């Protein structure tokens, strides 16, 4: 039995032969044409599409979304699109049997095509899985804006395949891949300085993890939500998120390492030195040889290498005022990084550890030593200066504004260099201004 459309938008989609997949492609393309290719462009998920076409919208969507919809159907306003459908097609000739026959044939073909497309090739899923792994493992090699573009394109490709299959096992696999891509998009959005979209994308990943009972994805997403929380001044929430993530079963040792490091940073922001040191100790424990299918099997940005752990504990030591431990951990991070092949070395870890060394030396009033440590940081290209580096440098710049440095040439020069360095970074150039609340590790 055919269901009558409840909105003009649903009626137009039926008239124009737009399934959710085709509508989403047209909506995205129209948004790029009108607004440019920006990470903040409106998108339309399948659930949202069902609400739009099902007459379940309480209020009209935002202005950019309305602009896109009105560009797709210029003869109607957004209010009309979400209103009731017409009684007849005003553009169709009356009693046009030929047009009716054509539309019936099209509808019949689309129904047959949908039936034939009830499943997709397992090879397609394997290819998408390989592409997700490639984005995750290559994340450290490219600027965060480029990583975001690659992940977003892959997100749309996965959604197309989710729309084509009704096989439960394939749906499960594709939802997990969608969750992994949402998690990577969240990391990239954070690195670009977009904290609110990063939070929304991390929650999306958590929902996909919960839906599929894939606990490593839930844990990674909650860990990301934790460090977004302490970057935005909510350290208590960060501790709660990290604790919840640690409660999930099925996690490998690397997942526990990452979550304990995040928890340590959150405790340090709260001034709880004892809990911070305990979490640092737990993050460094060897573990029980456990692995999981995300942090270990996919790896890359989902992993948490020993050099990244050392950089993170260095930052935690800075927050609790232990300059000697901070420099020791940062030096350890650089040592471990140097043992990797050049193509596997993370510029973010190198710059983050070097800036931590500089900050530790400033805590000991060694300005010359700090200037020496910053030598390797200046060479990071602007497009690679992600949030973690920018916030570290900003904290150093803030330290250099102390009264004892006023009028001194080297502190003044360093402070001016830092201001210019950060001004050219993506978080300052294309994103919101990054606060000085924390340092991402």
Residue 365 lies in a domain: yes
Work out the number of other CB atoms within 10 angstroms of the CB of residue 103: 16
Phi, psi for 28 (deg, rounded to 5): -65, -45
Q: What is the DSSP string of 268-306?
A: HHTT-HHHHHHHHHHHTS---S---TTTTTT-GGGS--H
Q: Which residue, 368, 344, 360, is CA-closest to 392?
A: 360
Q: If pLDDT is split at 50, 70 and 90, which confidence band does 119 have?
A: confident
Determine the average pLDDT of the residues in 403-410. 93
Residue 148 lies in a domain: no
Determine the average pLDDT of the residues in 283-301. 93
pLDDT in tens, 334-346: 999 999 999 899 9
Tell me the Ramachandran region of residue 314: left when phi exceeds 0, alpha when psi lies from -120 to 50, beta otherwise.
alpha
Q: If pLDDT is split at 50, 70 and 90, which confidence band does 434 have?
A: very low
Question: What pLDDT is stored for residue 117 in this prediction?
Answer: 52
Determine the average pLDDT of the residues in 203-217. 97
Domain that includes residue 437, residue range? 308-441
Residue 240 lies in a domain: no
pLDDT above 90: percentage of residues in the chain: 68
Residue 190 lies in a domain: no
- Separation between Cα atoms, residue 181 and residue 173, nearest integer Å: 13
Q: How far is CA 208 from CA 5, 179, 200, in A?
A: 29, 5, 13
Residue 73 buriedness (CB in 10 A; 0-12 / 13-18 / 19+): middle
Residue 440 has pLDDT above 80, yes or no: no
Phi, psi for 169 (deg, rounded to 5): -65, -40
Residue 249 lies in a domain: no
Q: At 394, which CATH number?
A: 1.25.40
Question: Which of 116, 150, 185 is at the close of a domain?
Answer: 116
- Tally of CA atoms within 13 A in the half-sphere of 203 that contains its CB: 8
- Separation between Cα atoms, residue 9 and residue 56, nearest integer Å: 12
- Separation between Cα atoms, residue 136 and residue 156, nearest integer Å: 16
Determine the average pLDDT of the residues in 381-398. 94
Residue 318 lies in a domain: yes
pLDDT in tens, 81-101: 998 887 655 444 444 555 555
- Separation between Cα atoms, residue 73 and residue 69, nearest integer Å: 6
Question: What pLDDT is stored for residue 74 in this prediction?
Answer: 86
Question: Which of 116, 140, 158 is at the close of a domain?
Answer: 116
pLDDT in tens, 220-263: 999 999 999 999 989 999 999 999 999 999 999 999 999 999 99
Q: If pLDDT is split at 50, 70 and 90, which confidence band does 103 have?
A: low
Residue 66 lies in a domain: yes
Q: What is the DSSP letter of 381?
A: -
Residue 201 lies in a domain: no
Determine the average pLDDT of the residues in 92-118. 54
pLDDT in tens, 165-182: 989 999 999 999 999 999
Token reading at 171: 């749906």
pLDDT, averaged across the chain: 89
Residue 380 has pLDDT above 90, yes or no: yes
Q: Which residue, 377, 362, 288, is CA-closest to 327?
A: 362
Overall domain count for the chain: 2
Q: If pLDDT is split at 50, 70 and 90, which confidence band does 205 have?
A: very high
Question: What pLDDT is stored for residue 33 in this prediction?
Answer: 84
Task: Please identify which residue in the block is written with the tokens 């650089």.
Answer: 334
pLDDT in tens, 141-164: 999 999 999 999 999 999 999 988
Question: Which of 69, 94, 116 is at the close of a domain?
Answer: 116
């Amino acid at each position: 039995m055919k269901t009558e459309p409840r909105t003009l938008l649903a009626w137009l989609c039926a008239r124009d032969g737009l399934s959710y997949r085709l509508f989403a492609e047209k909506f995205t393309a129209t948004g790029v044409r009108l607004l440019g290719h920006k990470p903040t462009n409106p998108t339309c998920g399948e659930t949202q599409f069902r609400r739009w076409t099902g007459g379940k919208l309480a209020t009209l969507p935002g202005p950019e979304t309305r602009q896109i919809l009105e560009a797709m159907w210029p003869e109607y306003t957004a209010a009309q699109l979400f209103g009731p459908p017409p009684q007849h097609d005003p553009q169709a000739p009356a009693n046009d049997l030929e047009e009716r026959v054509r539309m019936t044939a099209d509808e019949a073909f689309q129904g047959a095509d949908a039936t034939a497309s009830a499943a997709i090739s397992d090879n397609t899923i394997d290819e998408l899985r390989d592409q997700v792994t490639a984005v995750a493992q290559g994340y450290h090699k490219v600027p965060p804006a480029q990583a975001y573009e690659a992940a977003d394109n892959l997100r749309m490709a996965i959604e197309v395949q989710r729309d084509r299959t009704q096989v439960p096992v394939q749906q499960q696999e594709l939802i997990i891949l969608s969750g992994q891509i949402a998690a990577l998009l969240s990391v990239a959005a954070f690195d670009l300085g977009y904290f609110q979209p990063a939070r929304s994308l991390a929650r999306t990943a958590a929902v996909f993890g919960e839906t599929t009972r894939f606990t490593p994805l839930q844990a990674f997403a909650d860990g990301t939500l934790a460090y977004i929380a302490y970057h935005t001044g909510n350290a208590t929430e960060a501790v709660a998120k990290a604790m919840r993530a640690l409660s999930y079963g099925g996690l490998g040792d690397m997942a526990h390492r990452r979550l304990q490091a995040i928890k340590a940073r959150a405790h340090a922001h709260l001034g709880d030195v004892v809990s911070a040191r305990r979490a640092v100790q737990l993050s460094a424990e060897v573990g029980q040889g456990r692995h999981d299918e995300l942090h270990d099997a996919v790896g890359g940005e989902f992993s948490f290498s020993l050099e990244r752990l050392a950089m993170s504990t260095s930052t935690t030591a800075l927050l609790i005022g232990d300059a000697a431990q901070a420099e020791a951990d940062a030096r350890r991070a650089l040592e471990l990084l140097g043992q990797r092949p050049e193509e596997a070395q993370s510029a973010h870890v190198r710059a983050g550890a070097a800036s931590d060394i500089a900050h530790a030396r400033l805590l000991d009033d060694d300005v010359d030593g700090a200037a020496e440590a910053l030598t390797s940081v200046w060479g990071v290209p602007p497009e690679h200066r992600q949030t973690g580096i920018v916030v570290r440098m900003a904290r150093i710049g803030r330290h250099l504004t102390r009264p004892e440095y006023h009028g001194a040439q080297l502190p003044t020069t360093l402070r001016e260099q830092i201001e210019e360095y950060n001004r050219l970074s993506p978080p300052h150039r294309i994103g919101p201004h990054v606060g000085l609340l924390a340092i991402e590790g």
